Amino acid sequence: MATAHTAAEGVGRQPRVRPTQRERSDATVEDLLTAARALFASAGYAATSLDAVCERAGVTKGALYHHFAGKKQLFSAVYTREQERLAARITGAYRAAAADPWQAVFEGCRAYLEASLDPEVQRITLFDAPGALGWEAMRDLGVNCRELTQKGIARAIRKGAIPDRPADPLTSMLYGGLSESAMAVVRAPDPQAALDEVLTDLRRLFDALAAGS
């Protein structure tokens, strides 16, 4: 049986003799989020028990409920982190090609797609999040990838890289399409070949959109 401090000290954090309360909190939250993300990603939201999360994190449910309002909130925090990581990758790819606004969107889409191929990311963001959080909660949860897509498209339109149009419909089609594509690619007999096909087709789609009136 592990004590409350074992987890915090075990991760390489310097074992302070008298850790401040803020440090304890942060470490505990970190442990909980790490444990929760691992279990949510492998077993899924419903099949993950809070007891298992607590055991893995080396704390009890008292600690969990002190920092999170409940299972949904815990998952929400994990989901938010996942979105932030995805957003960082997308933004990085986008910025690297920002000179060409439409090409930048393409690179952002490629980054989102490739990142979403990770089964763990997929389980959290694509399978469990809608049912567990609901669409509105997902939308209003800090930075999300859909918003990035929308901004990228809006910029491409403003810059005249693609014909003028409202940004929202295309945002939904792109974002939803890429999400579904990620799920299909991973389950394909030859995922690598499927990914190549998807990217090739996405390229043609982008060209067609740029050429359209």
Partner DNA sequence: ACACTCACATACCTTCGGTATGTATGTTTC
Partner DNA sequence: GAAACATACATACCGAAGGTATGTGAGTGT
Q: Using CB under 8 A as the criterion, which residues of the chain lie in contact with a copy of itself when the complex forms?
A: 44-46, 126-128, 130-132, 134-136, 139, 165-166, 168-170, 172-181, 183-184, 187-188, 194, 197-198, 200-202, 204-205, 207-209, 211-213
Residues 137-196 that bind DNA (CB under 7 A): none
Residue 90 Cβ, how far from DNA at the closest point, in Å?
31
Q: Which does 120 bind (CB under 5 to 8 A by kind): a copy of itself, DNA, none?
A: none
**Shorter beta-carbon distance to a copy of itself: residue 130 or 160:** 130
Residue 129 Cβ, how far from DNA at the closest point, in Å?
16
Residue 111 Cβ, how far from a copy of itself at the closest point, in Å?
17
**Shorter beta-carbon distance to a copy of itself: residue 28 or 110:** 110
What's the token pair of residue 79?
């989901």
Phi–psi pair at 15, nearest 5 degrees: -70, 95
Q: Which residue in 38, 64, 67, 37 sits closest to 51, CA to CA? A: 64
**Shorter beta-carbon distance to DNA: residue 51 or 100:** 51
**Shorter beta-carbon distance to DNA: residue 48 or 125:** 48
Residues 43-82 that bind DNA (CB under 7 A): 48-51, 59-63, 65-67, 70-72
Q: What is the number of other CB atoms lying within 10 angstroms of the CB of residue 34?
A: 17
Q: For residue 140, give every residue at least 6 positions away whose Cβ sits within 8 Å of its Cβ, in sequence order, or none.
A: none
Considering only 4, 11, 184, 193, the residue that binds DNA (CB under 7 A) is 4
Q: What is the DSSP letter of 173?
A: H
Residues 22-41 that bind DNA (CB under 7 A): 22, 24-25, 28-29
The span from the CA of 41 to the CA of 35, in Å, is: 10
Output the CA–CA distances (angstroms, integers) from residue 96 to 106, 135, 198, in the order listed.
Answer: 11, 30, 22
Number of residues binding to DNA, judged by CB under 7 A: 25
Q: Which residue in 116, 113, 136 sits closest to 126, CA to CA? A: 116
Residue 63 Cβ, how far from DNA at the closest point, in Å?
3
Reduced to 3 DSSP states, what percent helix, strand and coil does the chain have, rounded to the nearest 5? 75, 0, 25
If phi over 0 gives left and psi between -120 and 50 gives alpha, with beta otherwise, what is residue 134? Answer: left
Q: Which positions touch DNA (CB under 7 A)?
A: 4, 18-22, 24-25, 28-29, 48-51, 59-63, 65-67, 70-72
